Amino acid sequence: MHLQATTQRNTFTQPAPRAARPVPQAPVAGESIEMMGAVMPFARNAEIYGENEPAEYLYKVVSGAVRTYKVLNDGRRQIGAFYLTGDVFGLEIGDVHSFSAEAIADCKVMLIKRSTMVALAARSHDVAHQLWTMTATELQRAQAHIMLLIKTAQERVAGFLLEMAARSPGCAAVELPMSRQDIADYLGLTIETVSRTLTQLENSAAIAVPSSRRIVLRNPAALSRLNA
Amino acid sequence: MHLQATTQRNTFTQPAPRAARPVPQAPVAGESIEMMGAVMPFARNAEIYGENEPAEYLYKVVSGAVRTYKVLNDGRRQIGAFYLTGDVFGLEIGDVHSFSAEAIADCKVMLIKRSTMVALAARSHDVAHQLWTMTATELQRAQAHIMLLIKTAQERVAGFLLEMAARSPGCAAVELPMSRQDIADYLGLTIETVSRTLTQLENSAAIAVPSSRRIVLRNPAALSRLNA
DNA sequence: CGACCCGTTTGATTCAGGTCAACGGCCACA
DNA sequence: TGTGGCCGTTGACCTGAATCAAACGGGTCG
């Protein structure tokens, strides 16, 4: 149940992290993380890092999409978050990752050495503040996720669609990079329930589903009402 | 449904925050937050702050216990976290609180002015690092909470008991400061299900419940196994 | 062009947990 | 020593989502 297709590392497109070219030092205070780090491509379903691996880097999505997740003993998978272009992930306080991360689609990810960031933060309050802010943003995301998980199937799906819409540049139609299984594992539902709920929402004219990965929010107000 | 007994502010035991005595300035780097701020008492069920109120302070539990929560349109309440002696809460990146906070039992809480902390963080890397660490701890707590919410009732209750046990100094018996309703709203269950599950665990000899607020972990290994 | 594969949808049935209702224990207070 | 209010427990029943199963559709590849 909840099996992933092919989750093994793709050793072709993903050189070992140690092989990354040296991260340029950026000693100036007020430096943003934008301008440092090496960009690395990952193929669809490639593992970016694994749970309990040392957290050597922090990551920024340059293009594509990423999921973080945990798998329980019995195989149930919970997706912690989806990261789209511009999002930062892999930020941990401990020195190991508490989730695993995989590419949802082929994507490019910028790697920034954690030790570099931490050292930089010690010198630049700006960088320190950025680190704090990113962690706090992540916290807010997690708290919103908790609020989703106590709701009904309809409310969860509606909430998910609104969240994705809010994160998409173009407003009307949402292009979903992830499968129904991913959505289900994010929302704590089964694919069947997600699928059924989407057709339900379509029948009630709240959304349109021209193709399975493309969803038009026909009546966002109705969705918000569902979102409680 | 999920109604709280008496949730209004108790204006007797809780002077307005503005009346707090001035926070001593602590310019020395390496300063800990321990030594600054005024301690204030709150009566059982008194509101400490409300959702969407400006986040002027951050709080540390000196004694007693606190819950943070949100209420949905339809009255469902979700408890975000329980805070026991020594825990810090109310740490936000935005300038309003995203949850409400209430005293579970009579308690004493230390208030620290947020602006003071932020100013201090700008001068002391140590303080900045503390702020970051506290936020990250909160993030981990939230992520663990997410993992709880996708599980079965048994697993949630077992997980909750183990969490509380881990946070209690004395190991064998857990003294729960919160009601069944609080536990239910934390775990996304009903009081009936929490109650039933506890008796189930008692019948299977995993725990003993000498009094409703006191629980002995008779077989922590079995609970851990449930916890998946 | 047809065969297959994968992700998705749809249908039938089951079950965990919710709902509704009654009861019991404990404590404060008269 | 009653009596009323909480809080927690237990029971009977119901329902929303999971499970099991089958069919569909849109790709790729021989």
pLDDT digits (tens, 9 = 90+) for B96-144: 999 999 999 999 999 999 999 999 999 999 999 999 999 999 999 999 9
How far, in Å, CA of A21 to CA of A29, rounded?
23
Burial (Cβ within 10 Å: 0-12, 13-18, ≥19) of residue A200:
middle
Residues B46 and B13 sit within 8 Å (Cβ to Cβ) = yes
Q: Which residues of B touch A140 (CB under 8 A)?
A: 93-94, 98
Q: Chain C: nucleotides under 7 Å from a protein CB?
A: 6-12, 16-21
Closest-approach nucleotide to residue A212, Cα vs C1' = C8
Other CB atoms within 10 Å distance of the CB of residue B137? 17
Chain A interface residues (partner B, CB cutoff 8 A): 70, 72-74, 76, 78, 80, 92-94, 98-99, 121-122, 125, 128-129, 131-133, 135-140, 142-143, 145-147, 149-151, 188, 228
Q: CA of B75 vs C1' of C22, distance in Å?
A: 25
How far, in Å, CA of B100 to CA of B78, rounded?
10
Q: Do B143 and A142 touch (CB under 8 A)?
A: yes
Q: CA of A194 vs C1' of C10, distance in Å?
A: 13
Bridge partners of residue B68, in order along the sequence: B81, B101
How far, in Å, CA of A109 to CA of A67, rounded?
12
Q: What is the DSSP letter of B91?
A: -
User: What pLDDT tens digit does each residue of chain A (228 aa) get?
Assistant: 443 333 333 333 333 333 333 333 333 433 455 557 899 999 999 999 999 999 999 999 999 999 999 999 999 999 999 999 999 999 988 899 999 999 999 999 999 999 999 999 999 999 999 999 999 999 999 999 999 999 999 999 999 999 999 998 777 799 999 999 999 999 999 999 999 999 999 999 999 999 999 999 999 999 999 998
Q: CA of A224 vs C1' of D20, distance in Å?
A: 33
Q: Do B136 and A93 touch (CB under 8 A)?
A: yes
Which uninterrupted H or E stretch holds B145? helix B125-149
